[in-house]
Amino acid sequence: MNKLKDLLEEDIKPNLEEKNIGEFDKADYLQTLLTNASTQDGPAHNDHYIMLRKHFMGNKKTKTYLPDYVIKNRDLGQFWQFIKYKFSTYAERRQYIWNSFNNLLEFLEEEAELPFSETIDSNLMVFDSEHVLEYWKTAIERMENDPEGAITLSRTLMESVLKHILEERGVPYKANADLHEIYKAVTNELNLSPEQHDITLFKQILGGCSSIVNGLGNLRNKHGDAHGKGKVTYYKPSSRHAELAVNLSGSMCLFLIKTFQHVKER
């Protein structure tokens, strides 16, 4: 959590391009940059402020939690003109910045509790598809209070990623094709079909992936909110069922995206 702040204390300029820097760490570092700039105490790299401001403003979710003064001030010079007149003491400035970052840090802290959440976030961004990333974010948000909605979105996320891959590869698909049909077309295109491999272990793993996709489709059909329930006995899914569906969907999408990128770069 404190890697970026530790580097600052050692007076080393962090490399924000490192892939293992999480969203919480970036937000915490942004807060530190502003605190240092407002108190004239410690490194305050303006290029990092500009980069992080752009990063968090580029995401609809995080932008809503950004302090208003970050949105309005494009560099640390502008921020200094704002903060020096708003509060006269360093203590007041620190407290103001800490309080204004609470919502963003709490939001990112909760998101990071889901395994691989940040890794999936960054890989979904590769698609440059706003709705795909939105499905993932919303599915996470709904797991606790709206399990049925989360289950539906986990399936929708998978379907969107599969269709996006086919479109990127120029492979046509039927508008009414079901999830398994689309998945089969993608596996053939990316050489992920069990039949395309001779090693038993690979065949088993890839066969398991196919079962996960089928399971997501069936779970959504039986427990999601996409269909009316009628008079049959209905068992309402719990948050743990939703968490399973979202985790499986996210992990599968991550695997498919990484494979798609690997094939694309060959």
For residue 157, what is the domain's CATH number?
1.20.120
Instruction: Specify whether 232 is located in the same domain as 256.
Output: yes
Residue 117, pLDDT score: 59
Mean pLDDT of the chain: 81
Residues 133 and 166 in one domain: yes
Residues 151 and 163: their CA atoms lie apart, in Å, by 19
More confident residue, 233 or 103: 103
pLDDT average, residue stretch 178-204: 79
Considering the domain architecture, whether residues 129 and 90 belong to the same structural domain is answered as no
Whether the pTM exceeds 0.85: the reply is no
Q: Which of 111, 139, 164 delimits the end of a domain?
A: 111
* Residue 112 pLDDT: 59
Structural domain range at position 16: 3-111
> Rounded to a whole number, what is the largest CA-CA distance in the chain?
71
Do both 70 and 105 map to the same domain? yes
Residue 178 has pLDDT above 90, yes or no: no
Q: Which of 88, 111, 134 is the last residue of a domain?
A: 111
Q: Which of 69, 90, 111 is the last residue of a domain?
A: 111
Domains held by the chain: number: 2
Whether residue 99 sits in one domain with residue 142:
no
For 256, half-sphere exposure in the C-beta direction (CA atoms, 13 angstrom radius) is 31
Do both 194 and 251 map to the same domain? yes
For residue 197, count other CB atoms closer than 10 A to its CB: 16
Asked if 120 and 250 count as a contact pair (C-beta separation under 8 A), the reply is yes
